[in-house]
């Protein structure tokens, strides 16, 4: 009797396991092109430096400099196009010679299909290269168990207003 009930619970356990495997299915690949609207100065700055900033200017090349960011992310290049997410988190200049920054940000989706979901971005970014590639290490909501990569490319920069548009191409399995 005892052996039979153990067998039964084992069967039930296996059945549950098979069902959840089937529900999970194959990971889905999603590709997105997003635009970070980045203001690194002025009254409406979306990037600020946390550590020593005596002259008021951001020192992106200074080893150890830490920046906090909350960039609006739009579907289109134009800053007035629909905002669908925010890029919230930190950048830390992590190479002694200032060439790399460590990116630790969440893409927090605020509208449309992925509203309420996040993608977690972490890794070294060769900040002065034309194209920078950084890992996507996780996610929440519709992006649970996400992994992938993205590229950043600064496609517009206006030094007088400290305004940049960064094109971000996401490839993610989830
Ligand atoms: C900053 O934001 C305020 C409020 O949205 C706006 O009125 C102002 O024009 C902005 N300033 C600049 C320089 O973009
Ligand atoms: C990002 O995607 C856009 C639109 O598909 C494409 O024009 C651009 O070349 C891509 N950038 C990179 C670095 O792959």
Domain boundaries, the chain: 27-173
Which of ligand 1's atoms lies nearest the C-alpha of 39? 14
Residue of minimum CA distance from atom 10 in ligand 2: 169
Give pLDDT tens digits for 98-133. 999 999 999 999 999 999 999 999 999 999 999 999
Cβ–Cβ contacts within 10 Å for residue 59, how many?
17
CATH fold, domain 27-173, is AOC barrel-like (2.40.480)
Which of ligand 1's atoms lies nearest the C-alpha of 44? 1
- List per-residue pLDDT tens for the chain, 174 residues long: 455 555 555 555 555 544 444 456 789 999 999 999 999 988 899 999 987 666 667 889 999 999 999 999 999 999 999 999 999 999 999 999 999 999 999 999 999 999 999 999 999 999 999 999 999 999 999 999 999 999 999 999 999 999 999 999 999 999
**Closest ligand to residue 154's CA:** 2
Give 168 Cα–ligand 2 centroid separation in angstroms: 8
Measure the CA angle with vertex 77, ends 114 and 41; round to 5°.
100
Q: Which residues approach ligand 2 with their CB closer than 6 A?
A: 33, 131, 151, 153, 167, 169
**Closest ligand to residue 44's CA:** 1
Q: Which two tokens stand for residue 82?
A: 């629909």
Closest among 170, 139, 141, 173 to 31, alpha carbons compared:
170
Euclidean distance between CA atoms 119 and 106, whole angstroms: 6
Euclidean distance between CA atoms 154 and 76, whole angstroms: 14
CA distances from 165 to 17, 66, 95 (A): 46, 21, 24
pLDDT at 8: 52
The backbone torsions φ and ψ at residue 51, rounded to the nearest 5 degrees and listed phi first, read: -100, 160
Burial bucket for residue 70 (CB in 10 Å: 0-12, 13-18, 19+): middle
Closest among 37, 111, 117 to 69, alpha carbons compared:
37
**Closest ligand to residue 34's CA:** 2
Q: Which two tokens stand for residue 93?
A: 């200049």
pTM: 0.83
């Amino acid at each position: 009797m005892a052996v039979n009930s153990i067998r039964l619970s084992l069967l039930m356990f296996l059945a549950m396991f098979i069902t959840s495997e089937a529900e999970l299915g194959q990971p889905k690949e999603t590709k997105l092109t997003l635009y970070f609207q980045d203001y690194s100065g002025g009254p409406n700055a979306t990037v600020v430096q946390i550590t020593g900033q005596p002259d008021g200017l951001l020192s992106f090349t200074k080893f150890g400099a830490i920046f906090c960011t909350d960039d609006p992310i739009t579907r289109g290049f134009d800053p007035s196009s629909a905002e669908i997410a925010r890029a919230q988190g930190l950048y830390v200049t992590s190479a002694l010679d200032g060439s790399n920054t460590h990116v630790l940000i969440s893409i927090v989706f605020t509208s449309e299909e992925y509203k309420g979901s996040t993608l977690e971005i972490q890794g070294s970014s060769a900040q002065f290269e034309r194209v920078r590639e950084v890992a996507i290490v996780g996610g929440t909501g519709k992006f649970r168990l996400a992994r992938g990569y993205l590229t950043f490319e600064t496609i517009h920069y206006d030094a007088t207003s400290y305004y940049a548009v960064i094109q971000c191409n996401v490839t993610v399995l989830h």
